[in-house]
Chains A and B, each alone.
Chain A
Amino acid sequence: GAVVSQHPSWVICKSGTSVKIECRSLDFQATTMFWYRQFPKQSLMLMATSNEGSKATYEQGVEKDKFLINHASLTLSTLTVTSAHPEDSSFYICSARTRGRPNAPQHFGDGTRLSIL
């Protein structure tokens, strides 16, 4: 089945550091990838939709300059949290849809737990 790999699985870093999270579709091409944020005991909130070769579409209230998204190929999207602060600590999870299969579910990576000290 479709596999999405997300790396790293957890990060602990100092305030002010920029953190890059990678999302890869391992066995399928993903024209669209999605980035979510999940606070403890809460639901997933969509941050942005990443389309290969074009700019990401951000949800209302998500800072584009804070959360940089790059979708350089059909198998890789990256989320960079720039100058991270403690309030950016959260669980970030990506998902990808199989190209050419409209009814296909989004397949999720295992998520990244980000802790900013």
Chain B
Amino acid sequence: AQKITQTQPGMFVQEKEAVTLDCTYDTSDPSYGLFWYKQPSSGEMIFLIYQGSYDQQNATEGRYSLNFQKARKSANLVISASQLGDSAMYFCAMREGRMNTGFQKLVFGTGTRLLVSP
């Protein structure tokens, strides 16, 4: 079974509009973390935002916010005021396991390609 599911292979948004990228996850571990990364065409992975399973509030980082719905096991990324430079692949990832084990792994979704048009 997929641990991280991103159902949108591609999304289009107009510049200055907001866009939501979907991510659902599956885990039985009560302690986990959710991450969003951006991968431009050049290939590097850029960390955007993090949400811990015990965090009470939704994470926000500048124009990025995470709509965390624990009961639904969803962690959607919201990008406000889209810019042309936001065009890239976006990956949702989950870290499972207790924080002190040192052997935590990230499991990535299949990604969503976002295209921002002028």
Contacts and interface: CB of A to CB of B under 8 A. Distances in A.
Interface of A: 31-32, 34, 42-46, 49, 51, 57, 91, 93, 95, 102-103, 105-111, 113
A93 B43 contact: yes
A108 B47 CA distance: 8
Interface residues of B, number: 23
B35 A46 contact: no
Interface in B76-118: 91, 99-100, 102-103, 105-111
Interface in B34-93: 35, 37, 42-47, 50, 52, 91
Interface of B: 33, 35, 37, 42-47, 50, 52, 91, 99-100, 102-103, 105-111
18 contacts: A34-B105, A34-B106, A42-B110, A43-B108, A44-B91, A44-B108, A46-B106, A46-B107, A49-B105, A57-B103, A103-B33, A105-B47, A107-B47, A108-B44, A109-B44, A110-B42, A110-B43, A111-B43
Contacts, number: 53
B111 A43 contact: yes
Contact of B99 (A51, A103, A105, A110): A103
B110 A106 contact: no
A91 B105 contact: no
B43 A91 contact: yes
A81 B38 CA distance: 27
A110 B100 contact: no
Q: Residue among B42, B50, B91, B108 with the most chain A CB within 10 A?
A: B108
A46 B105 contact: yes
Contacts of A51: 102
A31 B102 contact: yes
A51 B35 CA distance: 22
A108 B45 contact: yes
B38 to A, nearest CB: 11
Given A44-B108, A95-B106, 5 more contacts: A43-B91, A43-B108, A43-B111, A46-B105, A102-B100
